[in-house]
Amino acid sequence: MTEATQEPRRKVNILPKRKEKSQSPGWGRRLLTLLFWCIQLGLGAIVGVLLFDKLLMPRVVRFGDDVVVPSVSEMAVADAVESLRAAGLEPEVTEGKFSPSVPGGLVLAVSPEDGIRVKTGRRVFLTPSLGIESRVVPELSGMTLRIAKTKLRSVGLETGEIRYAAVGGVRDGEVLASSPGPGEPGPEGGKVEILLSREKAAVPLWMPDFSGRNGVETAAWLEQCGFEVQIEESSFPGDPGEVQRQDPPPGAGVYPGTTIQLVVSKERNEMDEEDSGWRDRFKRRFGR
């Protein structure tokens, strides 16, 4: 019996099973990479903007700005205008101001100030000096004392000594005149004397004779009666401070507010201590 021919056996290689790919590939890593580059781009943009704003733009905008405001303070206004125009600037003269130190017609102030570097063609404001303010006494007649004081203060003046005069047909307390008068320059001290009206009495008072009386006591009594008093010294013989003459004279009719002048004897010598110093007493009493 013939043996059947055996077929060669096939080798069967059993391969290991392939691992299935993960359903979620490395998205976390990709997101981190993308975030990193976004941050890099953002930082680059910020740096670029800063460089453009701080370095490039100032050079572009201020290209050619190399003008320094020349020194024109206390220069004649016309000369200052020419100097600024020669420097490539545009001068503009503003309203002037009074100044006690800078003469009129000269430049008092400059804006922008001297020495500042500015853009070509920029306007520069010049303030001319008007010199020392001229204070002129205003018209005060017919005003009350309160309004007259306000009027004087508005022009930089003050009320000085106030005198009174009794006149008819004028209300009590009305300004009759001033010294200096209206339109005149204000006094150096800035104080203007005022003459006020005082209501005229229906019946005048008769001036008594004050001869031989003490000048200080007489002046005090007259002021209590509504009169103004002026005292002058004279070399007439008599006791120091004694009334020698008066104006109006004895027997004259006077009204309250009238100024009465008393002439008194001078001190004979400085060794007479009993009556010396009566003038000081008078000054302390009446402030004169």
Question: pLDDT by residue (tens digit) across 240-283?
Answer: 888 888 988 888 888 777 788 899 988 665 444 445 455 566 55
Q: pLDDT: is 91 or 2 the higher one?
A: 91
Q: With cut-offs at 50, 70 and 90, classify the pLDDT of residue 30.
A: confident
CA-nearest of 135, 73, 74 to 104 is 74
Instruction: Please tell me the least confidently modeled range out of 2-11, 38-47, 67-76, 171-180.
Output: 2-11
Q: What is the mean pLDDT of residues 157-171?
A: 80
Residue count of the chain: 288
> What residue has token string 């013939």?
2
CA-nearest of 247, 245, 250 to 259 is 247
Q: What angle do CA 138, 200, 158 make, to 5 degrees?
A: 25
Q: Which of 11-15, 96-100, 120-124, 272-276 has the highest mean pLDDT?
A: 120-124
pTM, rounded to two decimals: 0.36
Q: What is the mean pLDDT of residues 153-158?
A: 84
Q: What is the mean pLDDT of residues 211-240?
A: 83
Q: Which of 47-51, 55-59, 250-254 has the highest mean pLDDT?
A: 250-254
Q: What is the mean pLDDT of residues 188-198?
A: 85
- The tokens for 55 are 């370095």
Q: pLDDT: is 193 or 225 the higher one?
A: 193
Q: Which residues contact 241 (CB under 8 A, 6 or more apart)?
A: 214, 215, 216, 264, 265, 267, 275, 278, 279, 282
Ranges of beta strands (E only) in the chain are 67-68, 90-93, 107-111, 117-118, 123-128, 158-167, 175-179, 191-199, 205-206, 228-234, 243-247, 253-254, 259-265
What is the distance between the alpha carbons of residues 146 and 148, in angstroms, rounded to a whole number? 5
- pLDDT at position 106: 92
8 residue type, one letter: P
- pLDDT at position 133: 72
Q: pLDDT: is 256 or 182 the higher one?
A: 182
Domains of the chain, each with CATH number or no CATH: 67-128 (3.30.10.20), 145-199 (3.30.10.20), 205-286 (3.30.10.20)
Whether 257 and 165 have beta carbons less than 8 Å apart is answered as: yes
> Is the omega angle on the peptide bond into residue 112 within 30 degrees of 0, that is, cis?
yes
- pLDDT at position 2: 46
What is the distance between the alpha carbons of residues 267 and 151, in angstroms, rounded to a whole number? 44
- pLDDT at position 226: 77
Q: pLDDT: is 84 or 256 the higher one?
A: 84
Q: What angle do CA 217, 222, 228 make, to 5 degrees?
A: 120
- pLDDT at position 287: 54
Q: What angle do CA 54, 60, 64 make, to 5 degrees?
A: 120
170 residue type, one letter: V
Q: With cut-offs at 50, 70 and 90, classify the pLDDT of residue 1.
A: very low
- pLDDT at position 270: 45
- pLDDT at position 20: 52
Q: What is the mean pLDDT of residues 205-230?
A: 85
- What is the enclosing helix (H) or strand (E) of 83? helix 77-86
What is the distance between the alpha carbons of residues 222 and 255, in angstroms, rounded to a whole number? 11
Question: pLDDT by residue (tens digit) across 108-135?
Answer: 999 988 888 888 888 999 999 988 777 7
